[in-house]
Amino acid sequence: MTKPTLLVRSTALLLCLLIFQAGSTSHGQASVSGARISSDQYALLSFKASLLDRADRLSSWQGEDCCEWKGVRCSNRMGHLIKLSFRNIDMDEYNYPNMSRSLSLSVGEMSSTLATLQNLRYLDLSGNYFNCTSIPVFLASLNNLRYLNLSFAGFSGAIPSRLGNLSKLHYLNVSWNDFQTMDLAWSPV
């Protein structure tokens, strides 16, 4: 049910971008239309399309240079996308994340295009609400991750054992989720 929806949305998004790009490069530049959408930008926009952003926190996510977008950082030297922070820092009166500022899912699961960001070292999803879905296994293929903060992120189920394959990981916070602790399959290598 949900996957085709996401696919349709992503496709629609890509089409819009292609049209936009074709329009914006029509005066002067002889470039293949659409070629300038970087794969990183595409991954981020697909990810965004799988999120419900009621507080409009990702409104800066437009324009050509995704390194300029809020929460995104690229390396100075190579321009690689190395850091993504979606952390919701707004707390309510009980010191829990203010849910009305949380990102949540607009479809069944977050977009796995995130896994194409292979230079990512830092990923912070904390303080958001991923609708009691499981931690996506594709996070385990982000081989360069040093920092992964999934605290207060509304995940449930089991912690994928494949996260143990993230050999460069220095920091993992999975506190305050709804894991079935008896199902913990976490096995660091």
Ligand X SMILES: *[C@@H]1O[C@H](CO)[C@@H](O)[C@H](O)[C@H]1NC(C)=O
Shortest reach from residue 24's CB to ligand X, in Å = 33
Q: Are 120 and 142 in contact (CB under 8 A)?
A: yes
What are the angstrom distances between the C-alpha of 162 and each of 4, 46, 119, 137, 188? 26, 24, 18, 7, 9
Shortest reach from residue 1's CB to ligand X, in Å = 10
What are the angstrom distances between the C-alpha of 104 and each of 23, 48, 144? 33, 10, 25
**Alpha-carbon distance 57 to 104, whole Å?**
12
Our finding on whether 131 is near ligand X (CB under 6 A) is: yes
Out of 48, 80, 87, 121, point to the residue binding ligand X (CB under 6 A).
87
Shortest reach from residue 76's CB to ligand X, in Å = 22
Alpha carbons within 13 A on the beta-carbon side of 63: 10
Out of 57, 80, 83, 101, point to the residue binding ligand X (CB under 6 A).
101
Our finding on whether 61 is near ligand X (CB under 6 A) is: no
Nearer to ligand X, 53 or 64 (CB): 53
**Alpha-carbon distance 26 to 33, whole Å?**
9
Window 142 to 181, contacts with ligand X (CB under 6 A): 149, 151-152, 161-162, 164-165, 171, 173, 175-176
Out of 93, 95, 181, 182, point to the residue binding ligand X (CB under 6 A).
93
Amino acid at 183: D
Element (H, E) at 22: helix 2-24
Contacts with ligand X by CB under 6 A lie at 52, 55, 87, 90, 92-93, 98, 100-101, 104-107, 126-127, 129, 131, 149, 151-152, 161-162, 164-165, 171, 173, 175-176
